[in-house]
Every structure is written in C-alpha cells, then in structure tokens.
C-alpha cells in the first residue's frame, strides 16, 4: 500500500470508473437479454462493495488511481464578495478517446478539501454549452450566487465528467480571497 496525499478527486474519479464499468456490463447483459435477477444483484453488490473498499483504502492513505494526465486543470481566483464567475475550459482531444459522439457535461459541484463546505451543482453551477464534441471542446463553467456560500481563504475543488462514460474531463480549483 503506497502512501499518497488525500485527494478526494482521485477517489471520486475511481468511483466514476467503477460506475462506468458497471453500467457498461449492465448494458451488455441487457442487450444480450441476460435478465437473471441473481446476476443483476451480484453485479450491484459488487459495485457497492468495491466502492466501499476504495473509500476505506483512501481513508487509510492507500494509493488510488490518479486522474488521467490529459485531464484539464483550471485554476481561478475570486473575491469572497463576488456573485458570479465564468471559467472557460478547453477539454483536451485525448479526453474523447476516439469517440465521435458528443459528451454531456456533469459535476456534483465544488468542495473544500475537508468537504466541510460545498457548492452544489444544482444551486451554483451551469455549463455553457451543456455538451461538447471533438470539434467544439471549449465550454464555460458559470458559477453563480457565490457570495452566499464562499468564505475568504478557502479553496474549492471539483471534477467535471462526461455523463456518457463518467470519465473525468477537467478539474477546477476555485481560490477565494
């Protein structure tokens, strides 16, 4: 067990990979009409068991999969009285992995390292546009009503993923002064 810094985003990325694998397997079985409830239950229990094990390992300082090297990192600073912020993000071509379809942007929000304070996506985040493709890889992360939640000298981090395959596309760090 290799010691590593406690990066909640690495754990989040691991969970997304597990969910992606689970959904892929479920999709294949459904497409093949393999509908045995015992198999579905086993897949579901395995998913949650693996995620619980990943969480325990992470909490003990074990090595969790790092974010992909191509994952875009965008750092932005705002003042604690700012109401809004707009963060342009270019997703690297490698994030598409040869896929031709458009990718729908999703996030759970931004949070402090100790997860004590959270900017939930439903209340404070919007993507413009809401999906991207290989030809149009730039989007803007719009943050709003910040002044109601953030405090000076806080750092919020969050991951933006693709709904279609749950792999991370970008990491945002928001420093509040």
Q: Which of 21, 37, 59 is the last residue of a domain?
A: 59
Residue 90 sits in the same domain as residue 47: no
List the domain range (segments joined by +) for residue 37: 8-59
State the pTM of this model.
0.68
Q: Which of 19, 38, 59 is the last residue of a domain?
A: 59
The one-character DSSP state at 5 is: -
Burial class (CB in 10 A: 0-12, 13-18, 19+), 77: exposed
Instruction: Could you list the beta-strand ranges (E) of the chain.
Output: 72-78, 84-90, 103-106, 109-112, 118-120, 125-128, 131-132, 138-144, 154-162, 168-176
In order along its 177 residues, the chain shows pLDDT tens digits of: 333 445 677 777 777 777 777 777 777 777 778 777 888 788 888 888 888 887 777 777 776 666 777 778 888 999 999 999 999 999 888 888 777 788 999 988 888 877 678 888 899 999 999 999 988 999 999 999 999 889 999 999 888 988 887 778 888 989 999
Which has the closest alpha carbon to 144: 172, 120, 163, 162?
Answer: 120
Domain membership flag for residue 168 = yes
């Amino acid at each position: 067990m290799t010691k590593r810094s406690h990066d909640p985003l690495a754990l989040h990325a691991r969970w997304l990979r597990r969910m992606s694998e689970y959904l892929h397997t479920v999709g294949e079985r459904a497409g093949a009409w393999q509908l045995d409830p015992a198999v579905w239950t086993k897949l579901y229990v395995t998913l949650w068991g693996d995620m619980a094990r990943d969480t325990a390992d992470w909490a003990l300082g074990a090595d969790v999969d790092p974010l992909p090297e191509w994952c875009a990192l965008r750092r932005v600073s705002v003042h604690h009285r700012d109401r809004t912020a707009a963060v342009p993000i270019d997703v690297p071509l490698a994030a598409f992995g040869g896929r031709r379809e458009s990718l729908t942007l999703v996030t759970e929000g931004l949070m402090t390292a100790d997860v004590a304070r959270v900017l939930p996506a439903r209340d404070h985040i919007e993507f413009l546009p809401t999906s991207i493709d290989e030809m149009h890889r730039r989007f803007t992360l719009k943050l709003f009503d910040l002044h109601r939640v953030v405090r000076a000298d806080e750092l919020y981090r969050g991951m933006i993923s693709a709904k279609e395959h749950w792999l991370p596309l970008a990491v945002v760090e928001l420093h509040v002064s």
